[in-house]
Chains A and B, each alone.
Chain A
Amino acid sequence: NAGVTQTPKFRVLKTGQSMTLLCAQDMNHEYMYWYRQDPGMGLRLIHYSVGEGTTAKGEVPDGYNVSRLKKQNFLLGLESAAPSQTSVYFCASSYSIAAGSEQFFGPGTRLTVL
């Protein structure tokens, strides 16, 4: 099993450009999450999904959109990138939200917006 994979690993954008980050999991998990991590900060939740076709806002959703058309995939979109969105983005998935159901994280995507 590959677990949680993220594409791409690195990306440099110019201000105003758009892009989509892809997260895929092969563990048949219902729950998927997108986080961002900035220097000296913990991970902050952007958006999450509790199942195929559902999405919800997290702590820092502004400037991002998400879609969960297939259970195994969770896409994070930036419509008009800004330098403030320079960060490392982590995707995670979990089987349930029950206590003891850990979140499994992907390796991250390092995004730089110039």
Chain B
Amino acid sequence: DQQVKQNSPSLSVQEGRISILNCDYTNSMFDYFLWYKKYPAEGPTFLISISSIKDKNEDGRFTVFLNKSAKHLSLHIVPSQPGDSAVYFCAAMNYGGSQGNLIFGKGTKLSVKP
């Protein structure tokens, strides 16, 4: 049973517009959430994270929102750029009990068109 779900396999957005990537989780023990970005033939790279004690974290063009009651988080990219085209993975962890183990979603492939 998937604990972290990214229900949209792909998303296409025009350059300059907002990209919104969504992620749902089922395990209420998760208390830390991360987004990773992955280009083809490369390993994932860390993008942004959020603790369960917050509902928003912002870093430049990237903002992550967390809705604990809905067990939902989203990544907003504004404005979107062609270089943002990649696969985005949502990941979650139970900081208190997991030895740092991350549970990943299946990923969403973002295409930003010029």
A contact set with B: CB distance below 8 Å: 4, 31, 33, 35, 40-45, 48, 50, 56, 58-59, 90, 92, 94, 96-108
Contact assessment for B95 and A107 in the assembled complex, using a CB-CB cutoff below 8 Å = no
Number of A-B contacts (CB under 8 A): 67
Known A40-B106, A97-B95: A102·B101 in contact at CB below 8 Å: no
Q: Which of B44-52, B60-68, B71-79 forms contacts with chain A? A: B44-52
**How far is B57's CA from A99's CA once the two chains are assembled, in angstroms?**
14
Residues of chain B at the chain A interface (Cβ within 8 Å): 4, 6, 9, 31-32, 34, 36, 41-46, 49, 51, 89, 91, 95, 98-102, 104-107
Closest chain A CB from B57 CB (angstroms): 11
When the two chains form the complex, which single residue of A31, A33, A99 contacts B51, counting CB atoms closer than 8 Å?
A: A99
